[in-house]
Amino acid sequence: MTYNYKQKTICHFKKSVLIAVVAGSGSGLSWTAASAQQAADVGQEVRLEELSVSGNARGAGVGAGDGAGVPRLKADGYLAKESVSATRTQTPLRQVPQTVVVVPAQALTDAAATRIDSALDLAGVGRANNFGGLGLSEFTIRGLATGEYYRNGFPINRGYPNAPKIVSIERVEVLKGPSAFLYGRGDPGGTFNIVTKQPLAERSLTVGQQIGSFNSKRTTFDANTGALDANGQVFARVTGALEDNGSFRDYVSSDRYYIAPVIAWKPSADTTITLEGEFLSTAQPLDRGIVPINRDVRVAPRNRFIGEPAIGPNYNDNAVGQLRIEHRIDPNWVVTAGAQLLGGTIRGDAIGTLGGFITRPVVNRVNELRDLTWSDINLQLNLAGKFETGPFRHTLLMGLEYDRLRYREIFARSNVNRFPFSLNLLEPSYGQTLPPITNSVTDFLQHTESFAGYVQDQIDITPRLHALVGVRVEGLDRSTIAYNAPATQTANPATRNATVATPRFGLVYDVTDTVSVYGNYARSFRPNNGVDRNAQPLPFQGGEGIEAGAKVALLDGRLNLNAAVFDIRRTNVQTTDPANTNFSIAAGELRSRGFDLSIAGYLAPGWRVIGTYAYVDAAVKRDTTIPVGTRLANVPMNSFGMQSVYEFQGGPLRGLGLGGGLTYVGARNGGTAASTFRLPEYTVVNLISYYWITPEVKIYLNVENLLDKVYYDRAYQNRYATPGLPRAIMGGVSARF
């Protein structure tokens, strides 16, 4: 359907499927998800015996390893028809009782994307805190902020990780609504899972070079070794990137280094062992953006830097290792196991601001020091299979998961009263003597440990009626030692433990062969940070969501449409303690209601399209200081993101692709507060063009923000606003050898 040059496959994976589970909510998803492409690639190309499975082909597919022992999830251009992220089994999207938006690698390649924000914009995910450009700390889904996301099903949001790199991503699967059953602690708005590229059987090397506005330079490589042994059982792949970027922001530049190796070993037709790693290092000044003057973000120029040029960059270094094992017991049952080790650090000095809104262009600044370290281990074990009870067909998943996180934070700053350190945002004077750092803001060590067990059953009640029922029971312990607290608190760490059950229920009815309707209910939970006035940790937050929608296949299955209405609540939200405003209590409540619509696929052969529209009414429902009805920070009432590309299929223009993207974001609050500033609405238009010179060489020229719109894509702490990228031209070439 599209003009592309893919290597010939040696064998074709038959449509019979076996259970595709990954190790645990992380690995399970992760293994299966990551395995998606691994099966699509390694599985397609390595000669293996055909797998078969009994049961209704209309039901959730079950897959045991194909090549790499993973289920084969195909994405034709922008069109994906299956997912593992929503159920941890290979299930057709139309039979998942939940909104799942899949952004395949093709959409990212067309846009020449370098950041995962490009994928999330197309899936209706809003932008929030990016830790001053150092990473992906927080985003919004269906009006509620979250920082929970996954790589191949394993949690990678522990600590403050770097933003994921596009070069190793095969697809991003966004799950909307509570997903705690699959992944444990999290927020009820939703989450996403990144599926990484896996080894191919064909030996190849793809290199790319991109240059662009603001002195940005990016080099990428993707190397497949082919079979490393005489028996064709071991395969490897390495992806990497090197970036040297300037910026439209004064005195801001960044260096990024990335490498991600993966090796897959298939000692037998029924067993696959995969070892995967990732290392990413970023060096960049912490840049929160601009500070509104008289609550107007447009007064200060968008290039204005509130820091000091003499201060060196902050360093964010992250390393991840995953081990995944899958064994097919028989054609109907698969056991998977996985482990992930993760660690990271952020260190460096930066300049911040203190105080409320400013009415003149002079802002009070403080000198800041951060030293954050974290390490996490995650273990997962799954058993999945298919069986029948009378007229009912079942796809059963049972799993166990263990997670242990150690997080150490030191954050200190100068005293703004003793050592004034201001900056005029309209007439800046840099080079002032830095004030000494004297005040400890946070200095603590936190341990979080959790054990979980879960069971899920996907039931084909009739050939057209499908049910999904499941429950996860998780016990979580958290202890915090505050070293800058009184000695009595340091000697007696604050602890909080609880056991939480997070059920979910869903029904899907196939009205016709092309139309399904569904409904679901699910719960979530997450720990609150901080302690109350009695030095006791706050109770856990709770969440619940209800969703109903329809899934439609249009244009003979070339275009998928998903429409849904939802109602989500988050309870036990931190709010100011009326008895002592220096502390918090867990007494707030947030509510988000709305409608979203997503499409993906082909309008005609060669004409790819993907996009999402969302209407979200997200506001405070109960709080001790914030008025009921106050809209939540960074959440517009209306938003829309779309990308479309036409690739000529024949004639003299064969191999030429032309298209673009459109993003609209409505006005938003800069903070969830009684008094705040507003981020104006904006529309950004991007242009896409590329041409295949030969079947192995492609050149491209893209323009971001074609109309040079001045916009602000996120706010933080009711104090900062981050300007969006001005017009930027990016050109490059990629070649496959």
- 8 inside domain: no
- 225 inside domain: yes
- 530 inside domain: yes
- 385 inside domain: yes
pLDDT per residue over 656-676, tens digit each?
999 999 999 999 999 999 999
Q: For the purposes of burial, counting CB atoms within 10 Å of the CB of 436, is it exposed (0-12), middle (13-18) or buried (19 or more)? A: exposed
Token pair belonging to 383? 């058993």
Assess whether pLDDT exceeds 90 at residue 168.
Answer: yes
Residue 527, classed as helix, strand or coil, is coil
**355 falls in which pLDDT band (50, 70, 90)?**
confident
- 15 inside domain: no
Looking at residue 15, its pLDDT comes to: 30
Pairing of strands 638-647, 656-665: antiparallel
- 9 inside domain: no
Which percentage of the chain shows pLDDT scores above 90?
78
Which is higher by pLDDT, 277 or 485? 277
Looking at residue 69, its pLDDT comes to: 35
Q: Which strand (E) or helix (H) includes residue 291?
A: none
Distance CA 452, CA 644 (A): 42
Distance CA 653, CA 657 (A): 9
Residue 633 DSSP one-character state = B
**494 falls in which pLDDT band (50, 70, 90)?**
confident
Q: Which of 550, 555, 552, 530 is nearest to 540 (CA)?
A: 530
**34 falls in which pLDDT band (50, 70, 90)?**
very low
Token pair belonging to 351? 């300049």
Please report, for residues 111, 119, 220, 580, 587, the alpha-carbon distance to residue 703 in angstroms, rounded to integers and kept in the order given: 9, 17, 20, 52, 47
Looking at residue 482, its pLDDT comes to: 86
**487 falls in which pLDDT band (50, 70, 90)?**
low
Distance CA 130, CA 253 (A): 16
357 in Cβ contact with 294 (< 8 Å): yes
Assess whether pLDDT exceeds 90 at residue 545.
Answer: yes
CATH code of residue 451: 2.40.170.20
**163 falls in which pLDDT band (50, 70, 90)?**
confident
Assess whether pLDDT exceeds 90 at residue 221.
Answer: yes
- 7 inside domain: no
Other CB atoms within 10 A of residue 462 CB: 11
pLDDT per residue over 384-397, tens digit each?
999 999 999 999 99
Residue 627 DSSP one-character state = P
The whole model's pTM is what? 0.88
Looking at residue 23, its pLDDT comes to: 34
Q: Which of 223, 256, 297 is nearest to 710 (CA)?
A: 297
Give the chain's domain count.
1
Residue 663, classed as helix, strand or coil, is strand
Q: Which of 109-123, 346-360, 651-665 has the highest mean pLDDT?
A: 651-665
- 5 inside domain: no
Sequence length of the chain is: 737
Scanning the structure block, which residue is given the tokens 């005029």?
A: 424
Assess whether pLDDT exceeds 70 at residue 43.
Answer: no
Looking at residue 490, its pLDDT comes to: 59
Mean pLDDT lowest among 3-12, 118-127, 244-253: 3-12
**59 falls in which pLDDT band (50, 70, 90)?**
very low
Assess whether pLDDT exceeds 60 at residue 588.
Answer: yes
Residue 51, classed as helix, strand or coil, is coil
Residue 45 DSSP one-character state = H
Looking at residue 209, its pLDDT comes to: 97
Domain extent, residue 390, equals 24-197+205-736
Assess whether pLDDT exceeds 60 at residue 5.
Answer: no
Token pair belonging to 654? 């064969």
625 in Cβ contact with 605 (< 8 Å): no
Distance CA 303, CA 289 (A): 8
The phi, psi pair for 539, rounded to 5°, reads -60, 160
Q: Which of 291, 114, 238 is nearest to 730 (CA)?
A: 114
Spell out the alpha helix ranges (H) of 297-348.
none
Scanning the structure block, which residue is given the tokens 């492409």?
A: 37
pLDDT per residue over 119-154, tens digit each?
899 999 999 999 999 988 899 999 999 988 999 999
Distance CA 401, CA 631 (A): 36
Q: For the purposes of burial, counting CB atoms within 10 Å of the CB of 622, is it exposed (0-12), middle (13-18) or buried (19 or more)? A: middle
